Amino acid sequence: MAGRMKVLKTYKLYMNGGFPRSESGRTVKVNDSSGKLLAHICKASRKDLRDAVDAAHAAQPGWAARTAYNRGQILYRMAEMLEGKSAEFSAILSATISGGRRRAEREVGRAIERLVCFAGWSDKYAQVLGCNNPVAGPFYNFTVPEPTGVIGIVAPDEQPLLGLVSLLAPVLCAGNTVVAIGSDEHPLATAVLGEVCATSDVPAGTVNLLTGERSELTGILADHRNIQGLHAAGVDSDTRQTLEAGAGENMKRVMVRSTAGKAWYDDRECHSPYWIEPFIEYKTIWHPSAC
């Protein structure tokens, strides 16, 4: 009996809790390190990105209104689901990135740990980044952090899973929603992460993951007025300039990380609550004391 032809998977976008194809109908071939066809992946258009922003904008008030503890539970559930798909992630990463299975397993393991870390920070970062301010007079004065809104993410090609998770987790734990552009060179990690989100109790629209050409999408991401912040790493100087120019559109916050190489595995750096701080706003509350 002749062997059956393998059916290659076409990975779709992850938007508003579902898996739509690109409205443009475009797909891109993904080859493994030897040049053999591995899969197809949808190539997001500018309209797809705008639709993703609309979904994130609609979902943000509900996500922010959840308790910090509940957001932590959902991030922890993401870590559980990522753990369950760790073999699949290791396979797709080792197929397209040099370094073999051991390198891929290390990246997947650290991505799981990063989700667990920021799940833990969800109900604790406010005590670190907020404060009880000393004032003269019979008042209490508190500064409390609140989410910024919709955050656009541009993931690096280096460490495509760990980099994406490292940019996404601190933003989510603070109550922001996300529109992320995955790695250009290694997009499968972004696509499969959508499957993790879909099984992790993440509310529809909270996380939106796009695969496509960074050069086509970053300008729209930077200029969109319903995006309140940008979080990026591993971008070239032209892309960085495009993102930073977007700050003038609606005073959005822009954080472009210089993290690279072994620094992605530095827990002292990447597990810090100060990865959360760029994407919160501070509200000061006055309250009369009993005295």
Higher pLDDT, 130 or 49: 49
**pLDDT confidence of residue 291:** 58
Contact 29, 37 (CB under 8 A): yes
Q: Regarding beta strands 207-210 and 177-181, do their DSSP bridges make them parallel or antiparallel, or are they unpaired?
A: parallel
Q: Which of 5-14, 45-54, 55-64, 172-181 has the lowest mean pLDDT?
A: 5-14
- In degrees, to the nearest 5, what angle opens at C-alpha 18 toward C-alphas 13 and 20? 45
Enumerate domains of the chain plus CATH numbers. Answer: 10-287 (3.40.605.10)
Q: Average per-residue pLDDT in the chain?
A: 93
**pLDDT confidence of residue 20:** 96
Q: Express each pLDDT in 14-25 by its tens digit.
A: 999 999 999 999
Q: Is the pLDDT of residue 170 over 80?
A: yes
Q: Express each pLDDT in 189-207 by its tens digit.
A: 999 999 999 999 999 999 9
Residue 38 carries which DSSP code? E
**pLDDT confidence of residue 40:** 95
Q: Is the pLDDT of residue 1 over 90?
A: no
Can you tell me the distance from the alpha carbon of 216 to that of 7, in angstroms, rounded to the nearest whole number?
30
pLDDT range class, residue 53, cuts 50, 70, 90: very high
CB count in 10 Å sphere of residue 76: 17
Q: Is the pLDDT of residue 290 over 70?
A: no
Closest alpha carbon to 122 in 81, 77, 56, 59:
77
